[in-house]
Amino acid sequence: MSTTTRIIDGKEIAKNIRDKCRLMIDDLRKQQNDFKPGFAVVQVGNREDSNVYIRHKLKAAEEIGIDARLVRLDSSTTERQLVQQIEDLNNDPTIHGIIVQLPFDSVQTIDANRIANTVSPDKDIDGLSDLNAGLLSHGNLDKCFVPCTPNGCLELIKSTGTQIEGATAVVVGRSKIVGTPMFELLKHHSATVTICHSKTKNIQDIIKQAEIVIACLGKPKFIQGSWLKENAVVIDCGITSMQGDNGKTRLFGDVDFESCQGIASWITPVPGGVGPMTVALLMQNTLTAAQRYLNTYSPLQWNSMTYLPLALEAPVPSDLEIAKKQIPKDIQQLAREIHLHNNELELYGTKKAKIKLNVLERLRNAPNGKYVVVSGITPTPLGEGKSTTAIGLCQALGAHLKKNVIGCLRQPSQGPTFGIKGGAAGGGYSQVIPMEEFNLHLTGDIHAITAANNLLAAQIDARMFHENTQNDQQLFNRLVPTIDSKRKFSPIQQKRLNKLKINKTDPMTLTTDEITAFVRLNIDPSTITWQRVVDTNDRFLRKITIGQAATEKNFTRETNFDITVASEIMAVLALTSSLGDLRERLGKMVVASSRDGVPITADDLGVGGALAVLMRDAIKPTLMQTLEGTPILVHAGPFANIAHGNSSILADQIGLKLVGADGYIVTEAGFGFDIGCEKFMDIKCRYSGLIPNCVVLVATMRALKVHGGGPKVEAGTPLPPEYTQENLPLLERGTQNLVKQIQNAQYFGVNVVVAINRFKTDTQAEIDLVKRIAIENGATDAVMADHWAKGGSGATDLARAVEKACLQKPDFKFLYDLQLPIEEKIRIIAQKIYGADDIKLSEMAEKRIQLFTQQGFNDLPICMAKTHLSLSHDPSLKGCPKNFILPIRDIRASIGAGFLYPLVGEMSTIPGLPTRPCFYDIDIDPITEEIYGLF
């Protein structure tokens, strides 16, 4: 009895798949507006048959809306060059799939298996890598890419209505591309499968038993109709060009199509059967890869985030003991968990990595998360735990409330680390780990700043020396040397000419006067504000004399060192928005004035570009983690009493994009609100354009009692009993400082949550008193936080209070308009934030205001340099001082950073070492290389 053989129309089924692909693209764009899926085809040589296949793929991609790229390499391409090209595509976030066109048309020997395994598994849309093959073999179909031709065959079988489960199937051919994966697919769909190949005996008898036959052996018309079981479904993957009976060239499959008529129930034609399905499913695999990419790298909920459990102990061990007991996650794992791409990381070992700025381009249209800044009341010399609170809050939001959260912290200076304060990695069970790496060299950013700063300092003195010892022509000959009979200005020299309004590019055309103007900076030594720096507390560098060697020809001058974190380059790093912006800011830094009062910049000295080169890696934030495995970005570390005291804008911007709309960034502003957080609002937020959702104001009973009139607190000495025993009257008097700092935050229209950083001696009555007064005076909430002893679990109430505060939209405003006169901006800060009656300008400060106004620097924000131990200029005045005049001793300009900084009273810009620095306790085990004594 003859069977009606029906044709399986691969073109029509493929069309339906392409229509489905268009809907998939619509869905991808709903997730990310500007998203465009893309794949690349890598071709070696120029085989015409390969060109035909590639054209089909590119055309299908264009019709569907996929961005397809052809990378054609010539036939001389080596295996190494091909591997490098594929690695580049692996790291390209706009490419979601990679197809390596086989066979290679190369005069070189290229290992196709090595090339297939070079393609990143998440971009292997052909499914040819060993990893994909292994996943397919184990039945993990949702985690791999099924090769397109076998998957197409499966869809064609399904289209006939044939039940695959329990059916007898034969795959003829065992190639890695079709036969073997086809066998695995049918196996996982519960067919009983046999695979035949060139060594198979009695192949006709085996095929005769099959209800489903897939031919993929590459031999035209090999399988005859007489070999088939009646009503078998036949899928023909073969395609060979050969002459037909009429002498014309045509395409033939592996099955003798005519002899199968009346025997097979369904059969695919050649062409028009499997071929269109292969291309359509390649498009579908591309979109699957794109969706996986979005799931992995978009700022959605971090579903793969793992947290590190804490083994809490009582009493709480030392910070270093706690840190050493916790094994951090591999930094690449953490990066994947927060949806960072491999090409956005630069690894520094296994526990820290720099984040490249290209992540901002990828996430440019992603929404920002909530922006939380941790500040505090006026601290004691012991510190009140702002960093610890910020870290504990991050651990609570992340590990316990399961929110996307990133902490943004400053890099600690080695001056305090080896001086009296110790490190800044937090404390107790709220720390950044590895804490010894955090507190020491980290990724070398501070060293880069030291090198850049001192290069500029060296050039200032060298330039004055050379101008003092050479005439104009000698200077010109050395600044613009003749090389190969030609003189040429460097780009930075051309920039100086443009500044001088000398619109010439040929050095030979400059007049004598123009040469003089070009080569003579005429720096006035008395106006030099740029100092050398070192990241060490060294009091004996506060005043030095340089140029005492005979070679300097009696060119000596008094100068001094600052600590590195006080360098303007540190402030520039913290306030920059890109590498280009960094370069411009570095070049604009004013280091002195000429004898005619003209500001002299780093670019005038020819060194701006070199400074940017030294800072090339330092501009990238460093990724680390807390004790509970939540991410931390460490970047920049300006002091808050002599600079603006905040971590970088770039770290905040990257973090806000990575956490997504429902996530949180927790950053910290140095010292009390009057110091670091006022500058956060008026300087950092002006330049970043970001608005905080909430201020967390940290208070301790100890500091409040100091402000109530308690005995002096000093590091290294036991606390007086007033601080370890309940004393409500003393505490209540001290809350005047807390009330003032809440008021200061309210000037900016931002909600305030008071965090009471708990010490073991705090009583419930003391906590209740502080909470009541804080809320009565405008705080959104006041919460006791026990994160030092309990980690994130001790700060969950604080985290919930922050969540609630962030739901209310801030009514943000700056404290002053930039266009106001310099003196008036200083007065507003002094009167509103510090509570001063007025300011008093020294004669020097008045001269500076006049000079800076003439030089065009009036409209810059103000960065007050004053003691952090009092709201006033006098560190001995605690609480909320009244009836005082704020003395302004001097005003300096950080033009590259973009602010003016008045010096309030006497301010040291490099600390000294105490009698017993903490390095007495720091050492290393020479056998295990373990560090001990850090805190």
- Say if residues 623 and 650 touch (Cβ distance below 8 Å): no
Instruction: State the burial class of residue 511 (Cβ atoms within 10 Å of its Cβ: 0-12, 13-18, 19+).
Output: exposed
User: According to DSSP H, which parts of 470-567 are helical?
Assistant: 472-479, 491-499, 512-519
Q: What residues have CB less than 8 Å from 768, skipping those under 6 apart? A: none
- CA pair distance 823, 450, nearest whole angstrom: 32
Helices 386-395 and 796-806 pack at an angle, to 10 degrees, of 80
β-strand pairing of 631-634 with 622-626: antiparallel
Q: Please work out, in degrees rounded to the nearest 5, the angle formed at the alpha carbon of residue 645 by the alpha carbons of 643 and 651.
A: 125
Query: Which among 652, 631, 628, 623 has a CA at the least distance from the CA of 404?
Result: 631
Q: How many angstroms separate the Cα of 369 from the Cα of each of 7, 397, 403, 745?
A: 56, 13, 11, 21
- CA pair distance 909, 866, nearest whole angstrom: 11
Q: Please work out, in degrees rounded to the nearest 5, the angle formed at the alpha carbon of residue 714 by the alpha carbons of 712 and 718.
A: 95
In the set 57, 123, 352, 866, the catalytic residue is 57
Tell me phi and psi for residue 826, to 5 degrees: -65, -40
Reading the block at residue 201, the tokens are 């005996």
Helices 274-297 and 48-64 pack at an angle, to 10 degrees, of 60
- CA pair distance 780, 883, nearest whole angstrom: 30
Tell me phi and psi for residue 614, to 5 degrees: -65, -25
- CA pair distance 736, 744, nearest whole angstrom: 12
- CA pair distance 393, 297, nearest whole angstrom: 25
Q: What are the residues facing 785 on neighbouring strands?
A: 757
Residues comprising the chain, all counted: 935
- CA pair distance 303, 582, nearest whole angstrom: 35
- Say if residues 472 and 511 touch (Cβ distance below 8 Å): no
Sign of CA dihedral 826, 829, 832, 833: negative
Reading the block at residue 487, the tokens are 């003189």
Query: Which among 623, 624, 625 has a CA at the least distance from the CA of 398?
Result: 625
CA 747 remoteness from chain centre: 32
Reading the block at residue 166, the tokens are 């329990």
**771 part of the active site:** no
Q: Which residues are part of the catalytic machinery?
A: 57
